[in-house]
């Protein structure tokens, strides 16, 4: 046996997995299309500056998790760790500022060098929507409604809870950052190593720490809501009112943050207790400062991403492979005609598997192995009568059918 194995943190999507993952993406695509989101795609790698500039040189993703390398032309490129920055780059480089508002849906693989665990791989897949050019809180309501509709389409919304918070505007954030730093400095020696590292460069991320000791310290931290400006309070009130108006329940979570400076106002996550520690299945928020940081015109934005692997595991969709019709030729003349018959039926929309070798018993055994719904037995005698024997592989019933009428006779198996 070969010693070659998949790279650690990667996973082969064999047919069963591939069908379930495709179903997640297809249902999500159809759900968000109802809101006018159009599909687009970016390259899976970008110039490293795209992510360094947007995620920050000191963020965990940039310093610890990005797959970056120098290509043969001397450029530093990075396998995309997330979709938003890549879409923002496409917006700028494509000169799309005249077309606002824009609604994008994308899906595909992302890459982060993290410790592999259940629900978290180094190559993982996401669905993602971005709404650009809408500064009103109603834009946030829409993207949350779209996320809820995706969860409904997958049959898992009742397994999730919507957690909601506000990061306010830049003035709110600056005031809270100062207050939080003042509080945390008194506990510096008790913070985890990661949180001590974040203390000066990104203290808001400490609120999201998974360390139990940090949790005890954070419990006494100042409340973000005490530092919101009147405008920020009004924005958040309109988001909450909008969600209530369309019947979407939420839980306020004052510790829910987005640690990067371009995030503002609404932050949210749909979480579940059904997947262990990796409980977030869709998360997002508003990022009005992102495109300006990247060198474009100031452009409001809001969006979310969902993990395909986690959603597929949560949904446990039973997506069966199509049951084919097996063509079983018997004899040289039938062998010569079998491909032509198979192609004719495929052109008519049937899934057809052609049996290539072995005696009749072995070929019928193969037809059962591939879960064929019916077998079309074609021998020299049948060909002389321009007919074939149709056998239903569930009931065992069989009948002779005319080759000219195959499409009609096989209609129940389409």
pTM greater than 0.85 (yes/no): yes
- Give residue-wise pLDDT tens across range 121-142: 899 999 999 999 999 999 999 9
pLDDT at 57 over 60: no
Is the model's pLDDT at 331 over the cut of 70?
Answer: yes
Asked whether the predicted pLDDT for residue 24 surpasses 90, the reply is: yes
Are 79 and 13 in contact, with CB atoms under 8 Å apart? Answer: no
Residue 202 has pLDDT above 90, yes or no: no
CA–CA separation, 168 and 249 (whole Å): 21
Q: What is the pLDDT of residue 375?
A: 95
Diameter of the chain measured on Cα atoms: 94
- pLDDT interval class at 31 (50, 70, 90): very high
Do 143 and 151 meet the contact criterion of CB atoms below 8 Å apart?
Answer: no
Chain segment 266-286, per-residue pLDDT in tens? 999 999 999 877 689 999 999
Average pLDDT value over all residues in the chain: 91
| pLDDT tens for each residue of 74-128 | 999 999 999 999 999 999 999 999 999 999 999 999 999 877 777 678 999 999 9
Using the predicted structure, report yes or no on whether residue 289 has a pLDDT greater than 70.
yes
Q: pLDDT-derived band of residue 198, with 50, 70 and 90 as boundaries?
A: confident
Q: What is the pLDDT of residue 59?
A: 59
Q: What are the sequence ranges of the domains in the chain? A: 15-169+229-315, 325-413
Domain 325-413: CATH superfamily, name plus number = Anticodon-binding domain (3.40.50.800)
CATH H superfamily, domain 15-169+229-315 = Bira Bifunctional Protein; Domain 2 (3.30.930.10)
Structure tokens at 252: 């306020």
Q: What pLDDT does 60 receive?
A: 60
pLDDT of residue 261: 67
pLDDT at 56: 63
Tell me: the pLDDT tens digits for 348-388?
A: 999 999 988 888 899 999 999 999 999 999 998 888 899 99
* % of the chain with per-residue pLDDT over 90: 66
- Is the pLDDT at 14 greater than 80? The verdict is yes
Per-residue pLDDT for 63 more than 70? no
Model pLDDT, residue 52 = 83
Burial (CB count <10 Å: 0-12, 13-18, 19+), residue 2: exposed
Three-state secondary structure of the chain: CCCCCCCCCCCCCCHHHHHHHHHHHHHHHHHHHCCCCEECCCCCEEEHHHHHHHHCCCCHHHHHHCEEEECCCCCEEEECCCCHHHHHHHHHHCCCHHHCCEEEEEEEEEECCCCCECCECCEEEEEEEEEECCCCHHHHHHHHHHHHHHHHHCCCHHHEEEEEEECCCHHHHHHHHHHHHHHHHCCHHHCCHHHHHHHHHCHHHHHHCCCHHHHHHHCCCCCHHHHCCHHHHHHHHHHHHHHHHCCCCCEECCCCCCCCCCCEEEEEEEEECCCCCCCEEEEEEECCCHHHHCCCCCCCEEEEEEEHHHHHHHHCCCCCCCCCEEEEEECHHHHHHHHHHHHHHHHCCCCEEECCCCCHHHHHHHHHHCCCCEEEEEEHHHHHCCEEEEEECCCCCEEEEEHHHHHHHCHHHC
Structure tokens at 193: 């190593």
- What is the tens place of the pLDDT at every residue in 134-164? 999 999 999 999 999 999 999 999 999 999 9
Q: Give the pLDDT confidence score for residue 189 in this predicted structure.
A: 81
Going by C-alpha positions, the residue among 184, 262, 190 that lies closest to residue 220 is 184
């Amino acid at each position: 046996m070969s010693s070659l194995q998949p790279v650690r943190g990667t996973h082969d999507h064999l047919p069963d997995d591939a069908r379930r993952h495709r179903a997640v993406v297809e249902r999500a695509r159809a759900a968000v299309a109802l809101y006018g989101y159009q599909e687009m795609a970016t390259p899976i790698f970008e110039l490293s500056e795209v992510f360094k500039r947007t995620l920050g040189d000191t963020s965990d993703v940039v310093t610890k998790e990005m797959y970056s390398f120098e290509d043969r032309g001397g450029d530093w490129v990075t396998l995309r760790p997330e979709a938003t920055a890549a879409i923002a780059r496409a917006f700028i480089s494509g000169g799309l500022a005249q077309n606002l508002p824009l609604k994008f849906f994308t899906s595909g693989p992302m890459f982060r060098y993290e410790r592999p665990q259940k629900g978290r791989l180094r190559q993982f897949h996401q669905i993602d929507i971005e709404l650009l050019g809408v500064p009103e809180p109603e834009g946030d309501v829409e993207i949350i409604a779209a996320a809820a509709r995706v969860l409904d389409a997958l049959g898992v919304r009742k397994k999730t809870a919507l957690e909601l918070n506000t990061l306010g505007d830049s003035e709110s954030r600056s005031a809270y950052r100062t207050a939080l730093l003042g509080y945390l400095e008194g506990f510096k020696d008790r913070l985890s190593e990661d949180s001590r590292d974040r203390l000066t460069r990104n203290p808001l991320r400490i609120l999201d720490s998974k360390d139990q000791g940090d949790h005890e310290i954070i419990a006494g931290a100042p409340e973000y809501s005490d530092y919101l400006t009147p405008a920020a309070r009004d924005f958040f009130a309109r988001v909450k009112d909008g969600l209530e108006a369309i019947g979407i329940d939420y839980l306020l979570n004052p510790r829910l943050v987005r640690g990067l400076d371009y995030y503002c106002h609404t932050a949210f996550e749909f979480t579940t207790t059904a997947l262990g520690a990796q409980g977030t299945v869709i998360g997002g928020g508003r990022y009005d400062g992102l495109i300006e940081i990247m060198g474009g015109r100031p452009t409001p934005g809001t969006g979310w991403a969902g993990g395909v692997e986690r959603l597929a595991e949560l949904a446990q969709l039973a997506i069966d492979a199509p049951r084919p019709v097996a063509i079983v030729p018997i004899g040289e003349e039938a062998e010569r005609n079998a491909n032509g018959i198979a192609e004719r039926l495929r052109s008519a929309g049937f899934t057809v598997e052609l049996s290539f070798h072995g005696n009749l018993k072995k070929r019928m055994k193969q037809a059962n192995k591939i879960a064929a719904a019916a077998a079309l037995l074609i021998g020299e005698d049948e060909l002389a009568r321009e007919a074939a024997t149709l056998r239903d592989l569930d009931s065992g019933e069989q009948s002779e059918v005319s080759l000219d009428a195959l499409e009609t006779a096989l209609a129940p198996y389409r």
